[in-house]
Amino acid sequence: MKLKKKDRQDKLLQVIEENPFITDEELAKLFQVSIQTIRLDRLGKNIPEARERIKKVASQTLTASVKSLQIDEVIGEILDISMNETGLSLLEIENEHVFSRNQIARGHHLFAQANSLCVAVIDAPIVVTKRANVQYIQPVFLGQRVIAKAQVKMLDHEKDHSIIEVKSSVGSEIVFLGEFEMVKHIGTERKNRNYV
C-alpha cells in the first residue's frame, strides 16, 4: 500500500538518515513511486541528492582522520574509515571510467579505488604500496556503483608495513579482490626500501 505524501516524506527522511548513500532510484523502488516523485519529496524536505550527501560525509571523514591523502587524491568517495582497521569507499562508474565500445569499466579504476583506500586507512603521513595481488572477478559496467571494503589483516609497527585485504562489490556481487602490502613512513626522509 502506497503512503500519503506527508507520511512518505517523513519516512523518506528517516530512510536517508539511516542510509545517506541510498540513491533516488533505490528510494523509488522502495516507496513504489517514480524517481521524479522522490526528487520532489527530497526538494520538499531540503534533502540534497545522493552525490552531495556522499561528498559531505567523505569530506568530513577525510578531514577528521586521513593523514596520507588529500580529498582530491582519493579515487572514489571514502564513506567510512577506522584508522589502521577498516575503510569503505564508493566509486560510481561514469563515462570516463569505461571502454566506449562495451561500457565496461577499465580495470585500473577498480585497482586505484582499492589502492587509495589502503593508503587512506593507514595512520601515517606517507604510505606507499610495496606489493599488490589482485583478481578481477567479473566486469563492472557504466552506471554501476562499486563499494570497496578494506580490512587491515596485519599491522607490523616495527617494520612499518601492513597487509590489507580489499573486497569490491556491486550490490551483493563481488567484482574485485585484492591483497595489498603497504609501507608507511613516520617522517619524510627517504629510506632504502623496495616499493612502487
d(CA 194, CA 135): 23
Write the pLDDT tens digit of every residue in 102-131: 999 999 999 999 999 999 898 888 889 999
Domain coordinates in residue numbering, the chain: 5-69, 75-194
Do domains 5-69 and 75-194 share one topology? The answer is: no
Cα separations (Å) of 103 from 96, 98, 100, 187? 10, 5, 5, 43
d(CA 6, CA 41): 9
The pLDDT, as a whole number, for residue 146 is 96
Residues constituting the chain: 196
Beta strands in the chain (DSSP E): 77-82, 86-92, 126-136, 145-156, 161-170, 173-185
Write the pLDDT tens digit of every residue in 134-182: 999 999 999 999 999 999 999 887 778 899 999 999 988 999 999 999 9
Long-range contacts of 27-36 (CB under 8 A, 24+ apart): 31/2, 31/3, 32/2, 33/2, 33/8
Write the pLDDT tens digit of every residue in 7-36: 888 888 888 888 877 888 888 988 999 989
Cα separations (Å) of 81 from 42, 87, 121, 153? 27, 4, 7, 15
Please state the φ and ψ torsions of residue 147, each to the nearest 5 degrees: -105, 120
Mean per-residue pLDDT, 81-95: 91
The pLDDT, as a whole number, for residue 65 is 60
The b-or-e profile of 98-116 (16+ CB within 10 A means b, else e) is beeeebebeeebbbbbbbb
Please state the φ and ψ torsions of residue 140, each to the nearest 5 degrees: -115, 140
The pLDDT, as a whole number, for residue 61 is 55
pTM, rounded to two decimals: 0.67
Q: Pick the more confident residue, 194 or 180.
A: 180
Q: Which CATH superfamily is domain 75-194 in?
A: Hotdog Thioesterase (3.10.129.10)
The pLDDT, as a whole number, for residue 70 is 58
Q: Which residues make Cβ contacts (< 8 Å) with residue 120, sequence separation at least 6?
A: 62, 66, 68, 69, 74, 78, 81, 87
The pLDDT, as a whole number, for residue 71 is 57
The pLDDT, as a whole number, for residue 124 is 83
The pLDDT, as a whole number, for residue 81 is 84
The pLDDT, as a whole number, for residue 169 is 95
Cα 67–190–128 angle (5° rounding)?
Answer: 45
Domain range 5-69, CATH class: mainly alpha
Write the pLDDT tens digit of every residue in 28-78: 988 999 989 988 988 888 888 877 776 666 655 555 566 656 556 778 888
| CB atoms closer than 10 angstroms to residue 52 | 11
Q: Pick the more confident residue, 99 or 191.
A: 99
- The grid coordinates listed for 102 are 562495451
Assess contact for 74 and 116: CB atoms under 8 A.
yes
CA-based nearest residue to 118, from 131, 105, 136, 135: 131
